[in-house]
Amino acid sequence: MDPLSIVVSSFTLVGVLAKIGEVAHSALHCASALKKIDKHYTQTAQSLQSVIETIHQLNNMKDKISEIDDERIRSFNIDQNALDGHLESAKELEKTLQKHQKHMRRWRRWSAIRFAFRSELIKSDLAMSTERLNNLTGCLSTLYATIQTALALSTRETFVNEAQQATVHRGVTEEKLNQVGLVVEHTAHEVSVTRDRIMEIHGMQTQLTLGTLHQPLLEHKSKPRSFIMPYPRNRCFVGREELFCKINTCLTPPNEGSLGRVFCIYGLPGIGKTHTAIEFAYRQKDDNNFTHIFWISADSAEKLEQGFVSIARDLGLASSTAMEDRDKLLGLALSWMEKPHDGASWLLVLDNVDSFPVLNQYWSAFTGGSVLITSKDAIHGLAAVTTSPTDSHHVEAFSVPEGAEFIKKRFATRGIQDIDESTAGDLANRLGLYPLLLDQMVTVIESEPEPVPMSQIHDLLKVEFGDELFQNVEPDSPWYHESAGKAVEAHIKRLDNQHRLSLGTIAFFDPDNIPEGLLLSKDQRVACFSNTAKLQVILSRLRKSSFIGSASKGNDDDCRRINLHRLVRDRALKTCPDHQTAFNNAVHLLRQAFPLHQLSRDHMVEDWEECEKFQPHVLTLHQQYINLRDNFGIQLISSFTFIELIYSCAWYMCERGRFEVSKTLIASCQKAHDEIVSREHTHLGGRSSIPPAFLADLYTVQQFYHTEATSGISMTELARKALSIREDAVKQGLLDPYHPNRANGFMNVGVAMACEDPKGAIKMHNRALEIRLGSEKYKDQQVHGLALNYLNVGRCWLLVGDLMTAASCFEKSLEVIRAREQKLGRQFTLTAWATSALGAVRAYQDDFPCALKLLVESLKLHIDTMGDKHMKTLSCYYRLAWVYHKLGNFEPAQQILQALLKTYNSFDPMPTPDLARTKFKLSQVLQDQGSPPSHWKKLRREAQSHLAEISRETPEDGSSEDEKTYDRCIVYFRR
């Protein structure tokens, strides 16, 4: 058995387990729905839960994979060609498994729409899913037998011989090796230990066998199923035992059904809050007190939301094929946390909460587990905003014994054992017992080329950190924090200009998790990071001085990552020798990584994953740009490179529905654009570095934002301005007449004028289609644009009442986007929109069976890609209720409309037009159903009141009121 087979078999095993888990969850959803109808299915649901619990236990092999040292993997010198062959085989198996469970994904959100189907369909689907489950479990036998044979290697010689049989090949990359991950240890003893660990994890006795797969392992206490932790454990952590006892008392996992708990630790920057939280999380992992441990850096609302999205993905709540809306994943994570199942208990660490109001919308979810918050300030009135038991603690500087212990531990890692307690305590006192500075002090001493005698250490620290910074300053003094900041500044100033400039560049990125690959200047334009050797030399120097630390590797890549403390970041920016160069460097590096809006200006949906990965850094860069200008009077000179980066991020944010974030980015783009035009007009005689049509792009992203998020601004005027700029560029020969961005100009005008002049809008959309279809040159660069063009013109034909033409346009839109989906193996939101529009047309044509089928399909797509609370998803729910009403099926129509009202009422602000329309429709359903007049008349009056609020007028008698009256209040693309 060669190491290659072990690697690939183990990797494939984990993939199979994930697929089985998906199918089992799908079957469980069906059984859970059926048990409410027939108690016979209760036992089926319980059995499926046992199988899922078993799979969770088996899936813990991922922990073992992640713990294997890369150096040990590399030592096997695996043949590249053989590796590629095995990976191709693994991919084929993956495709087969995907085919087995492809049709099951649509049942994930079954409970939300089960009233739309008969129970017989659920029973049939349950039978199919359990059959697939049985088929898939058969895949495990062969794979597990492979690993069993590997682990049976009993002597070092046997294993070494097998390792040496692998062909030496230096082309194997660390990334690919880490991807396939698992290889057994390098000696017979380590092989035996690994075998014993796996046997223990799986609850096996003496043989590795799948005979016990269907036996529940509920009595076996496993390691946490989830452990999201961006930082390694601090091996030199000391003290805080009293604090740990206090946190433990508060955050011990509550019994099932009881409220969660919240604990806040607060104190000065650099005092050790984050390290205390890290140590607490690792202790909880070791003690198995929680089944899930999560970590979120919460210094902004954006990063807080992204943290919950990561939790949703870690829990397996995200689809593997849908390009999902962020709000959907956020909602799934919060729903799970509020009501965890399968006996789950969770701990969530919210690190660096700077603004407490950002937590307000999450308190209800926090009642399902335990939350540890770190902050520079106490959360006053915490008990008033949550019903959970709460407590807090102010973290102070080390005591003298703790400071001495920390210094001794740190020196011991470097083999320095001869420092006594008194000397260590004196050194700790020298820097005010401030943990961050003590850490930097030790690195200063360690980094000296020759051993520093104890008698000279005080002089060295005086040079590095300044003289008498902490003399006679008590830890609770208001000057204590400023003294620490000055000490960090003094330490930074000891660096040469190149290292200070490098640190200043890094300070423009999100400080929590910076991929080292992001810092590498691939085109060598950033001199200090122009090649890997230079980058590593600089990072090594900064790491030795404790200015940067190591962060955990990402879940989806093998890139090493760094972080830096916020106090270091702030002081690095303040003392940067050249802010403009550092800013330009950061812009250039980010522009290499963040996907820019393509010149075709097609939608960015296919780049969402890469955008999501790097957008925290773009947002941090933008925030630092604003901060330096507004708070420090440092006016950075912007460039088109900067504007294009911020514009691309703003467009991406609009596509993901994060309009408030995009609003600030758009404003900065516009201001920077005007500054550049003014500057270049003055100094360059009118020549501009900005492409002539770019202002049109700015107008377009503004139109995008205002169309979705605001009202009261002329969309048509913005769109026509953008179109005029593009047409001038065409006349001047600066823009190809068949360029997709020219077509976008006409299409955007059509979107803006659709309600006021749908016939005129049709002309604009058709002109856009003429441009798109007039040349094959840009065919592959405007797939989403072409599909959206057909969808938009179809909506206009629907507005003028031409149902046949509208249906034809929607079918063409679906044809284009589905071909793209099939090619990429992904789902896009545009498919959901076009399917819903086609369903509405079929309903207007009185083809209700077809309409019902299309709307149900669209609803599933909306939920899969956008979540069940997105406004477009809710509009699809409404249309489904409308069809049920037309069919005389009043009960499901009533259920949907009542659920919609409950959802709308939970929004802040509430969507008044949607409330009005839904209440009016519900009053019609109740009236036709024969409900007492008092029931439906109350709803009718409320709908009229909402209508008056919107239109400022009310029909004198209800006679002129109809569905169209209320439909006209809704944005046309959500009618």
Ramachandran region of residue 733, left (φ > 0), alpha (ψ -120 to 50) or beta? left
- d(CA 207, CA 78) in angstroms, rounded, equals 29
Average pLDDT over residues 64-87: 47
Residue with tokens 């690792």: 282
Least confident of 206-215, 779-788, 909-918: 206-215
What pLDDT score was predicted for residue 43?
57
Confidence of residue 644 (pLDDT cuts 50, 70, 90): very high
Average pLDDT over residues 6-33: 57
pLDDT in tens, 428-459: 777 778 888 788 777 766 666 666 666 666 66
362 contacts: CB under 8 Å, gap ≥ 6:
304, 334
Q: In this structure, what are the phi and psi dihedrals at residue 38, rounded to the nearest 5 degrees?
A: -140, 120
Residue 929 token pair = 């159903």
Written as one letter, the residue type at 310 is S
- d(CA 282, CA 293) in angstroms, rounded, equals 9
Closest alpha carbon to 345 in 261, 415, 460? 261
Confidence of residue 210 (pLDDT cuts 50, 70, 90): very low
What pLDDT score was predicted for residue 411?
76
- d(CA 645, CA 799) in angstroms, rounded, equals 38
Average pLDDT over residues 912-940: 92
Asked if the peptide bond before residue 909 counts as cis, ω within 30 degrees of 0, the response is yes
Instruction: Say if CB 303 and CB 296 are below 8 A apart.
Output: yes
Residue 814 token pair = 């679906």
833 contacts: CB under 8 Å, gap ≥ 6:
791, 858, 872, 973
Residue 325 predicted with pLDDT over 90: no
Sheet bearing 514-515, strands edge to edge:
514-515, 561-563, 549-551
What pLDDT score was predicted for residue 103?
40
- d(CA 317, CA 105) in angstroms, rounded, equals 11
The CATH number that domain 495-593 falls under is 1.10.10
CA angle 645, 649, 655 (to 5 degrees): 150
Helix (H, G, I), strand (E, B) or coil at 560: coil
Q: Is the pTM of this model over 0.75?
A: no
Confidence of residue 803 (pLDDT cuts 50, 70, 90): very high
CA angle 507, 272, 298 (to 5 degrees): 55
What pLDDT score was predicted for residue 964?
82
Domain boundaries, the chain: 3-201, 226-394, 400-491, 495-593, 869-975
Residue with tokens 């030399």: 537
Task: List 347's β-bridge partners, or say none.
Answer: 293, 370
Least confident of 322-331, 506-515, 961-970: 322-331
What pLDDT score was predicted for residue 159?
35
Task: List 297's β-bridge partners, or say none.
Answer: 351
- d(CA 95, CA 89) in angstroms, rounded, equals 10
Instruction: Say if CB 293 and CB 315 are below 8 A apart.
Output: no
Asked if the peptide bond before residue 230 counts as cis, ω within 30 degrees of 0, the response is no
Residue 15 predicted with pLDDT over 60: no
What pLDDT score was predicted for residue 416?
63
**CATH class held by domain 226-394:** alpha beta
Residue 69 predicted with pLDDT over 80: no
pLDDT in tens, 822-879: 998 888 889 999 999 999 999 999 999 999 999 999 999 988 888 788 888 999 999 9
- d(CA 912, CA 901) in angstroms, rounded, equals 11
What pLDDT score was predicted for residue 466?
55
Residue 234 token pair = 């601090």
Written as one letter, the residue type at 301 is A
Residue 870 token pair = 């997105």
What pLDDT score was predicted for residue 152?
42
Confidence of residue 317 (pLDDT cuts 50, 70, 90): confident
Written as one letter, the residue type at 502 is S
Confidence of residue 413 (pLDDT cuts 50, 70, 90): low
CATH 1.25.40.10 assigned to domain 869-975? The reply is yes
- d(CA 529, CA 527) in angstroms, rounded, equals 5
Q: For residue 770, how many C-alpha atoms fall within 13 Å in the half-sphere facing its CB?
A: 8
* Percentage of residues in the chain having pLDDT higher than 70: 66
Instruction: Say if CB 419 and CB 454 are below 8 A apart.
Output: yes
What pLDDT score was predicted for residue 513?
87
Residue 5 predicted with pLDDT over 90: no
Helix (H, G, I), strand (E, B) or coil at 800: coil
Average pLDDT over residues 212-237: 61
- d(CA 86, CA 94) in angstroms, rounded, equals 12
Q: What is the mean pLDDT of the chain?
A: 75
What pLDDT score was predicted for residue 619?
96
DSSP state letters, 389-411: -EEEEE--PPPHHHHHHHHHHHH
Instruction: Say if CB 668 and CB 649 are below 8 A apart.
Output: no
What pLDDT score was predicted for residue 459?
67
pLDDT in tens, 580-614: 999 999 999 999 999 988 877 777 888 888 898 89
- d(CA 4, CA 72) in angstroms, rounded, equals 13
Highest mean pLDDT of the ranges 176-185, 300-309, 415-424: 300-309
Confidence of residue 118 (pLDDT cuts 50, 70, 90): very low
Average pLDDT over residues 100-127: 45
Helix (H, G, I), strand (E, B) or coil at 970: coil
Counting every residue, how long is the chain? 975
State the sign of the Cα–Cα–Cα–Cα dihedral 316, 317, 323, 329: negative
More confident site: 98 or 842: 842
Ramachandran region of residue 524, left (φ > 0), alpha (ψ -120 to 50) or beta? left
Q: How many CB atoms lie within 10 A of CB 921?
A: 23
Q: Write b or e for each residue in 427-452: b if 16 or more Cβ atoms lie within 10 A of its Cβ, otherwise e.
A: bbebbbbbbbbbbbbbbbbbeeeeeb
Residue 622 class from Cβ within 10 Å (0-12 exposed, 13-18 middle, 19+ buried)? buried
- d(CA 800, CA 760) in angstroms, rounded, equals 11
pLDDT in tens, 234-277: 888 888 888 998 998 888 765 554 567 889 999 888 888 999 99
Topology match between the domains 495-593 and 869-975: no
- d(CA 915, CA 921) in angstroms, rounded, equals 10
Closest alpha carbon to 557 in 172, 98, 174, 48? 174
pLDDT in tens, 740-795: 999 999 999 999 899 889 999 999 999 999 999 999 999 888 899 999 999 999 99
Residue 101 predicted with pLDDT over 80: no
What pLDDT score was predicted for residue 207?
30
Instruction: Say if CB 804 and CB 763 are below 8 A apart.
Output: no
- d(CA 250, CA 571) in angstroms, rounded, equals 36
More confident site: 603 or 22: 603
Instruction: Say if CB 850 and CB 816 are below 8 A apart.
Output: no
Average pLDDT over residues 886-902: 92
